[in-house]
């Protein structure tokens, strides 16, 4: 799907820092400290891995509907645009919520709106689109008898306007032009007879967006806010078309960029991953619309997944129609296409997920929902070199099994660990147990927590004050002392990282008691002059401090 225009344009929306907190920040509820540690270790394995590509900003949310949530973010907001080396970490410290384009995940909203309009008898999904849109005037080459249902299912046979070479050239010629659907549709071709096959095409949902506006007389953004964003309290979500700004900047390899970007913006660093905020993407972003113009942070994205597939976002019949629309046959990318969504086994070979994913110019994002666990995994990064499915897969592997229902209703009962005992309780009773200190999963899977959940969360909120992680002197020339206070009893590690995120030295790894003060000496011998990060990791969370080696 990386060829799709929305996949190259809609995520050109900048990731913007909202506030600064600890690095990385973790929010958890319902997961044990042991589970959090496993998730954090997986998270770090991507953040500090420089091959095949260094990840700058990454935000991950695992949201078990109404019961548990884990959120991890990193603070490497951008790499610099240094004239000689574009792989340095940027000066912007970032660990808060980030805003990213959702790209084709926007189609989950568009499909729900169309089906709701059908329930209200404002549209007939089996009527030809010519009843609602002047296709014979806009592009007479396209079959006007294509139905709305065929548009929803990607069975129109219309080419994806994002891959049309003539449109790519037009965008490259004037990258600042604000395009609309009526200008883009003349570039589209009829490549298959309607109904012959399901093939993903952003064109389908662009047309559906125009139909929504035509039949309601309202702007799509207004409808989305009134119908979904505000009622579900998705405060970060909006339908926007923004140009790139400095912040958690997008990074990509020019060889992977959309042809129009390569034609209009010669690469400054052709052999590496670049900060691409310098590229003019106005034209690309303006074409996103109903196929990919919604922006959100990962937390709201996970809430949307739970609300949509959990039956709270729309009517029961609309949800059922969307879920029943999935094709029994996979497309060429292994996805079973449906109305605004798809399903696959890319996260787990045994458990299937429903949702959407994008890997685009400068960004990767994913929202996938697991029905048995009633859980959404949301991933956002500011580099497209890592497959978000791989991130989600590795995180999913370390989660404890917590469904204990029968084969036909696995999610009706949940396995909880409380005070060293295993409980298999009805799902609607799990929240009370979790509120009283229980964790998802068996006691064996969770291990013995050092602190009750409530105390652990309070500990994290004050972690910075308790730990008091210091490096002195800073900058250092010949030696320095790292000092801190252990916030919790248990395994503790101190590690140094280079600017690129690679491990430089493992300073300490051992067991400390809560409140124990620790001083560690480090020698800069062998360390090139420059900036480094000192990271302290415990079961209570992670905190870091920066220091400089001066020669």
| pLDDT at residue 478, as a whole number | 82
Please, which residues have CB within 8 angstroms of residue 116's CB and are 6 or more apart in sequence? Answer: 227, 314, 315, 318
Question: What pTM, to 2 d.p., does this model score?
Answer: 0.75
Query: Taking 80 as the threshold, does the pLDDT of residue 295 lie above it?
Result: yes
CA–CA separation, 437 and 439 (whole Å) = 7
Bigger pLDDT: 274 vs 21 = 274
**pLDDT tens digit sequence for 304-329:** 999 999 999 999 999 999 999 999 99
Convert the pLDDT of each residue in 510-519 to its tens digit. Answer: 777 888 889 8
pLDDT for 272 beyond 60: no
**97 or 426: which leads in pLDDT:** 426
Instruction: Show me where the domains of the chain are located.
Output: 410-458, 464-549
Average pLDDT over residues 266-285: 61
CA distance 110 to 292: 10
Sheet holding 26-29, edge to edge: 26-29, 68-73, 58-64, 375-381, 363-370, 353-360, 342-344, 336-337
Place of tokens 């390899």: 253
Fold for 464-549, please state it: Immunoglobulin-like (2.60.40)
Mean pLDDT of 151-160: 97
Radius of gyration over every alpha carbon of the chain, rounded to an integer in angstroms: 25
Residue 273 has pLDDT above 50, yes or no: yes
Asked if residue 332 has pLDDT above 60, the reply is yes
pLDDT in tens, 510-551: 777 888 889 888 877 777 887 777 878 776 667 777 788 886
Helix 106-119 with 202-216: angle, nearest 10 deg: 40
**Model confidence at 455: pLDDT above 60:** no
Question: Positive or negative, the Cα torsion across 384, 385, 388, 389?
Answer: positive
pLDDT band at 507 (very low <50, low <70, confident <90, very high): confident
* For residue 458, pLDDT beyond 60: no
């Amino acid at each position: 799907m990386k060829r799709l225009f929305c996949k190259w344009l809609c995520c050109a929306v900048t990731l913007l820092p909202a506030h600064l907190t600890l690095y990385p920040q973790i929010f958890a509820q319902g997961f044990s400290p042991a589970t959090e540690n496993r998730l954090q270790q997986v998270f770090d394995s991507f953040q500090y891995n420089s091959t095949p590509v260094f990840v700058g900003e990454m935000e991950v949310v695992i949201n078990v509907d109404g019961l548990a949530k884990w959120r991890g973010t990193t603070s490497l907001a951008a790499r610099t645009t240094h004239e000689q080396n574009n792989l340095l970490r940027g000066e912007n410290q970032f660990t808060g919520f980030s805003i990213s384009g959702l790209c084709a995940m926007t189609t989950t909203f568009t499909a729900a709106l169309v089906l709701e309009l059908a329930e209200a008898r404002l549209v007939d999904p089996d009527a030809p689109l010519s009843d609602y849109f002047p296709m014979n005037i806009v592009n007479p080459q396209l079959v006007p008898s294509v139905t709305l249902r065929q548009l929803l299912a990607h069975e129109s046979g219309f080419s994806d306007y994002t891959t049309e070479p003539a449109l790519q050239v037009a965008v490259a010629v004037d990258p600042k032009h604000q395009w609309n659907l009526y200008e883009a549709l003349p570039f589209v071709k009829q490549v298959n007879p309607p109904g012959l096959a399901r093939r993903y095409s952003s064109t389908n949902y662009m047309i559906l967006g125009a139909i929504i506006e035509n039949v309601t007389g309202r702007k799509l953004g207004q409808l989305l806010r009134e119908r979904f964003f505000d009622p579900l309290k998705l405060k970060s979500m909006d339908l926007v078309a923004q140009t790139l700004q400095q912040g958690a900047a997008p990074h990509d390899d020019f060889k992977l960029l959309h042809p129009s970007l390569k034609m209009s913006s010669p690469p400054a660093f052709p052999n590496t991953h670049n900060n691409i905020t310098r590229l003019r993407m106005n034209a690309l972003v303006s074409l996103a619309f109903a196929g990919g113009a919604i922006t959100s942070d990962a937390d709201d994205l996970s809430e949307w997944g739970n609300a949509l597939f959990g039956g709270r976002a729309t009517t029961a019949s609309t949800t059922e129609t969307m879920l029943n629309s999935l094709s029994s046959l996979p497309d060429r990318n292994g996805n079973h296409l449906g109305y605004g969504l798809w399903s696959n086994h890319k996260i787990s070979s045994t458990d299937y997920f429903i949702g959407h994913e994008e890997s685009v110019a400068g960004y990767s994002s994913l929202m996938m929902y697991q029905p048995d666990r009633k859980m959404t995994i949301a991933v956002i990064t500011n580099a497209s070199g890592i497959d978000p499915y791989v991130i989600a897969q590795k995180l999913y592997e370390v989660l404890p099994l917590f469904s204990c229902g029968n084969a036909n209703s696995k999610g009706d009962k949940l396995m909880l660990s409380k005070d060293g005992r295993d409980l298999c309780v009805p799902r609607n009773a799990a929240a009370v147990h979790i509120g009283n200190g229980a964790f998802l999963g068996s006691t064996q899977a969770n291990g013995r927590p050092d602190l009750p959940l409530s105390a652990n969360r309070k500990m994290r909120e004050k972690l910075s004050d308790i730990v008091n992680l210091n490096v002195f002197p800073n900058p250092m020339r010949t030696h320095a002392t790292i000092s801190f206070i252990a916030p919790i009893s248990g395994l503790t590690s101190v590690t140094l990282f280079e600017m690129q995120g690679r491990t430089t030295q493992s300073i300490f790894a051992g067991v400390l008691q809560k409140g124990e003060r620790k001083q560690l000496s480090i020698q800069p011998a062998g360390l090139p002059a420059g900036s480094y990060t000192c990271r302290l990791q415990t079961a209570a969370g992670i905190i870091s401090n920066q220091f400089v080696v001066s020669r």
